[in-house]
Amino acid sequence: MRVLVTGGAGYVGSVSVEALLEAGHEVTVLDSLVTGHRDSVVAGASLVVGSVGDAQLVERLLRDRRIEAVLHCAARSLVAESARDPALYYAENLVGGITLLDAMRAAGTGRLVLSSTAAVYGTPEETPVDEAAATRPINPYGATKLALEGAMRWYGAAYGLRAVSLRYFNVAGASVRNGEDHRPETHLIPNVLAAGGGGPPLVVFGTDYPTPDGSAVRDYIHVMDLADAHLAALDLTADMAAGLELCNLGSGSGFSVLEVIHAAESVMGSAVPIELGARRAGDPPVLVASNAHAGHLLGWHTKRGTLAEMISSAWEWRQAHG
Across the chain, which distance is largest between two alpha carbons, in Å?
57
DSSP at 172: E
pLDDT confidence band for 251 (50 / 70 / 90): confident
SS3 of the chain: helix, strand, coil, percent, to 5? 40, 20, 40
Which residues form the domain of 156? 2-171+220-249
Provide the pLDDT for residue 169: 87
User: What type of residue sits at position 169?
Assistant: F
Burial call 169-181: b when 16+ CB within 10 Å, e when fewer: bbbbbbbebbbbb
Task: Determine if the peptide bond prior to 184 is cis (ω within 30°).
Answer: yes
Partnered with residue 287 across adjacent β-strands are 218
Other CB atoms within 10 Å distance of the CB of residue 271: 11
209 is a catalytic site residue: no
Residue 127 scores a pLDDT above 70: yes
Same domain, 14 and 114: yes
pLDDT confidence band for 322 (50 / 70 / 90): low
Provide the pLDDT for residue 79: 87
DSSP symbols for 111-138: EEEEEEEGGGG-S-SSSSB-TTS----S
Same domain, 131 and 11: yes
Same domain, 49 and 122: yes
CATH of the domain at 139: 3.40.50.720
- Catalytic annotation, pick one of 11, 121, 141, 155: 141
Same domain, 214 and 228: no
Per-chain mean pLDDT for the chain: 95
Cα–Cα dist 300/229, whole Å = 6
